[in-house]
Structure 1
Amino acid sequence: MGMPNHCHAGAAALVAAGLLLTACGQSNSSAGPDAPAPPAEPVACPEPGDLTTAAEVLADRLPDEALLEIWQRRMVERGPRFTGSPALAAWHDFLAEELASYGLSVERDPMSLEWWHHHDYSLTLIVDGVETPIPVASFYPYSGYTPDGGVVGRLADAGAGLPQDFLLGDFSNTVVIYEEDQLPLTLALLYSTTSYVHDPDNTMTPATPYRRASVSFLTPQEQVSVGLARDAGAVAAIVSYDASAENAAGQYTPFLTNPADSQGLPTLYVDRATGDQLKAAIADGAEVRLELLVERDPDAETDIVIATLPGTRPDEVMLFNTHTDGTSASQENGTLGILALARYFASLPQQCRQRTMTFVMMPGHFHNGFGGDTAGFISRYQELIGRSVASLTMEHLGQPEWLDDEQGFHPSGEYEPGVWYGTDNVVQALMTAAVQAEDLRRVFVNRPIGVIYFGVGSPLNAAGVPNASYITGPNMMLSFAENQHVEKVDYARMAAEIRSAARIATAMDATSTELLCAGVRSQSPTTPSGCFP
């Protein structure tokens, strides 16, 4: 069965209502318009399930599809949320206000950083003195910058941009162009560590192609080529990216960069067809004018948003986390999932929560200058990690599958494959039961490789905190083009992913510390966790 065609009507108006604080029997007069309405009658705690039966979810306590769409569009309308940008600050304001309106205690921990606003870029081909504008797909983040008017150099072909390619010619004072191919991956990447696959329609096999722009940061070109071009004497670089114009547009890659990593060589991306046209002009002695303008802010600020919801056992903590910075509708709408879970658990009586629940929304995923996102949080909040015995992470929700092939950039009619990664113990069974209960199709339940897996939940697992982490990797995950691809989001899929998360969180909270910690390994024996006090 393919992906359903969900028709999304305009978001309905929401009526502001006070949040019932069931723990103290009082209403919260500061509840915002997105807070849950007080229950008409006392709420019974969801059944926790067991190793084969998923925990119950009270779906009417979770945001519906209309509210999820409202939140999604509020995020996107602020613009791409680059780390340190005003757009990210505005998104943090919204998240903090919402969390406070649900009755959570909210803390904002400020951090300083340097941020570059890449505000203008262009490319011009010069042949026989005639300048022709060339369409640019995107810029290479923090590669470098030019003065107004750009830099001009002879266009030179550097092959695949690898060390041997720069031994074959003189690249002094040139603008080099090199090709970056997407990794020829298949779904064997996911099948290799799976403990369960929910694909009743048999739409996937290990041989299914998994060619995605979202993992281009792992290519050798994004590891070494800009630095090699700089060392060879080039004044700028062009990456001929292995993608259609539609898929190449707005790709922000590699995203794990920051000003301190700048190679000092301004670099732009073009799609492969445009790259081929440029290379064909080399025989005519073509030159190129490349412009990449940045506004540097050495005193930018951002913050970590942390919200706490008391449970019946304050000595133990369950963490919910994601990152907040991102460039697309999917990156990072995991904040919507974490916000929905905070709203959900806050609407239940305190006796429904064994452990204190702490919701962490951390910047740094798109700026590696202060230790990364989750890893930075772990080093900054070791006392909290020392009490944490469970954690849940969400990233890139509501994603349909879009393919880039001989048909162009197009929807496949299926959902993007998703993965619930998690600690290799009882957590695998809890995730599997939730996926089955929600009939969450084209979803893997996967073990770590050692203690590592994709996503910002992995550092928690590596630090000895049992973790369940949901993630997808669609082609448009890093792209800020096409209004951040917000029109592609599927809110029914997002709602189902969040329901599965609510089931897993309920089950983890009800599971004994002894069982949650059984078999847990830590890569950081000097960093205490709730499983390694």
Structure 2
Amino acid sequence: MRPARCVAFIGVVTVFALQLTTPAVAATDCGPAIDEKTFASAAQLRALNATVAGFGVRATGSPNHNRLISWLERRADRLPGVSVRSEPFAITRWQPGPGFLLSGGAVPVAGAIPYSEPGLRAGELVSLPAGTPITPGNARGKVVLRAFPALDRGYLAEPLLDRDMVDAGTAGAAGVVIAFPFPHEQVKGYWDPHLGTHYRVPGVFVGSDAAARLVPGTRTTIGVLAARVPAVTRSLVATLPGVSGERIVLDTNTDGVGWVQENGTVALLALAEHFARLPLRCRPRTIEFVFATGHLHRPAEGSEFKARALDRDYDSGSVAFAFVLEHLGTREFLPVDGSLQATGLAEFSGWFAGSPVLAGSAFTALAGRAVDRTFVLPGSDLPVPGRVPPQCSFGGIGTHFHSHLVPTMAMISGPWTLWAPAFGASAVDHERMRRQVLAAGDAITALAPVPRDEIAGPYLAQRQARAAGAPTCSHDLPPEWAPRR
């Protein structure tokens, strides 16, 4: 995933052995797991998710995003014992507007490609098949038509879409049209790439029905109505004190689209409300709830900057572990006869864990809450011998913490609906989401009294190896601006 994009977690990986033991829980009257009778119901989670989705497209630093952050801030600030602070980041905001396409008549546009160049351009429409590089020789002054990459899940296309937009800009193309194999209504508002890199060429998405009207060789006008303005965005950090100042850090992002990306905000709110109700003795460690900004504008990726801070703090003993929650309760949709259709199953999900103790708590929590179609994995990329850690990617923003050698767990899925907000509430099974959040809370509860070094396991030796000069993962973030031609 380059560091922390939403990448594949189903692949050639090593799964932690099932015989891993779960850490013993200190005897208290606080209970070894969450009492589900007092936890937010599926209906309450759905109502919270409806509120989050109701803010509309939460492009980083946009008015919608700012309103969501303020709502989260008010909600967290009124919890007993919780204090909230902000971490600001300056960005050049991309405020989305509609896209336009004229090619032998008006053609319906599903949406502008995020961060594409505002403006209106025209040129001959040229179709370039998959695998054909976009160059000045085949694209200068032309509108390039590409089919959306044929991949198992849509989010896997991000590096290819990004490459096409960068190459089209340096080639001097007039614009880029990406044609989905699915109808217009299913891909309206599609949002990817989510790098936050401002491109040098306008680009639009079209559905299969609109793409059928496009004829290569036709003079085509393409346009994107959008604004680029300086802005300040912010992450929220809500701190709930425990018996010890040593921290458990829970993280998700706030910028997003639709009901799936990002509903981790709902999970963090529900967990914060649960833990805030407990007496202090039931919180052996302080818990930080990080509502991070910048995942749709990754030059200001708040989770990366938080991970850097935890990396600096870790050796002082003030950090126990991090846990990232993303894209919860998702239903599986697959291509059938030219459209995306629900299979009736849950989307596969991953629970990444970087140590045996973390993995053991994940296995136990998943079994205890009957969460199916979930893999406990040590990473989503191939291991590299001698690198620390050997596997860098945790499939999403958990990568930032794990690659900084902070003991980390991360729960994530990557459905077709991730960047397709048109599916709305149908994309999420809130009963399943509740079981996942309960499982996450159970793992946090079980790990809360476990000694820090036991939780860390191999991370301690990896940190020592890094200090001695061993190679590690890249922490580079995408550039805010694509190169000029």
TM range (shorter): 0.7 to 0.9
Conserved? CA contact 1:214–1:476, under 8 Å: no
Aligned to 1:212: 153
- Gaps (5+ residues) in structure 1? 1-42, 48-55, 127-131, 184-210, 528-533
Matched, 1:101 2:78: yes
Deviation of 1:144 after TM superposition, in Å, equals 1.0
TM-score computed with the length of structure 2 as normaliser: 0.82
What code does the residue aligned with 2:247 have? V
Aligned to 1:310: 241
C-alpha distance in structure 1 between counterparts of 2:223 and 2:243, whole Å: 58
What code does the residue aligned with 1:175 have? V
Please say which of residues 110-119 and 244-253 is displaced more in the overlay. 244-253
Matched, 1:336 2:266: yes
Matched, 1:461 2:402: yes
Pick aligned residue for 1:400 from 305, 313, 331: 331
Matched, 1:181 2:149: yes
C-alpha distance in structure 2 between counterparts of 1:256 and 1:229, whole Å: 17
The residue correspondences of 1:170-319 to structure 2 (distance < 5 A) are: 170-183=138-151, 211-218=152-159, 220=160, 222-259=161-198, 262=199, 264-278=200-214, 281-282=215-216, 285-298=217-230, 300-314=231-245, 316-319=246-249
Residues 248-299 of structure 1, C-alpha deviations (whole Å, 9 max, x = no match): 332111111233xx2x111112234533441xx23xx41111110112221x
Aligned to 2:441: 502
Q: Which runs of 4+ in 1 moved over 6 A?
A: none
Deviation of 1:438 after TM superposition, in Å, equals 0.7
Conserved? CA contact 1:318–1:356, under 8 Å: yes
- Secondary structure at 1:72 match in 2: helix
The residue correspondences of 1:130-169 to structure 2 (distance < 5 A) are: 132-146=105-119, 150-160=120-130, 162-163=132-133, 166=135
Residues 409-460 of structure 1, C-alpha deviations (whole Å, 9 max, x = no match): 2110101111111113211111001111111011111112424221111221
Matched, 1:84 2:61: yes
Conserved? CA contact 1:162–1:225, under 8 Å: no
Pick aligned residue for 2:361 from 426, 430, 433: 430
Deviation of 1:79 after TM superposition, in Å, equals 1.1
* Pair 286,216 (structure 1): closer, same or farther in 2 beyond 3 Å: same
C-alpha distance in structure 2 between counterparts of 1:478 and 1:526, whole Å: 39
Question: Cα RMSD (Å) of the superposition?
Answer: 2.3
Aligned residues: 426
* Pair 488,81 (structure 1): closer, same or farther in 2 beyond 3 Å: same
C-alpha distance in structure 2 between counterparts of 1:391 and 1:171, whole Å: 46
What code does the residue aligned with 2:140 have? S
Conserved? CA contact 2:96–2:226, under 8 Å: yes
Aligned to 1:119: 97
C-alpha distance in structure 1 between counterparts of 2:165 and 2:256, whole Å: 23
* Pair 170,72 (structure 1): closer, same or farther in 2 beyond 3 Å: closer
Deviation of 1:523 after TM superposition, in Å, equals 9.9
What code does the residue aligned with 2:412 have? I
Matched, 1:478 2:419: yes
State the structure with bigger RCO (CA 8 A, min sep 6), 1 or 2.
2
* Pair 119,523 (structure 1): closer, same or farther in 2 beyond 3 Å: farther
Matched, 1:445 2:352: no
Residues 183-223 of structure 1, C-alpha deviations (whole Å, 9 max, x = no match): 2xxxxxxxxxxxxxxxxxxxxxxxxxxx21122213x3x24
Percentage of pairs with the same residue: 26
Deviation of 1:175 after TM superposition, in Å, equals 1.4
Conserved? CA contact 1:244–1:404, under 8 Å: no
- Secondary structure at 1:497 match in 2: helix
What code does the residue aligned with 2:405 have? G
Deviation of 1:488 after TM superposition, in Å, equals 3.2
C-alpha distance in structure 2 between counterparts of 1:223 and 1:120, whole Å: 20
Residues 362-386 of structure 1, C-alpha deviations (whole Å, 9 max, x = no match): 101100222x231122335666555
C-alpha distance in structure 2 between counterparts of 1:170 and 1:411, whole Å: 39
TM-score computed with the length of structure 1 as normaliser: 0.75
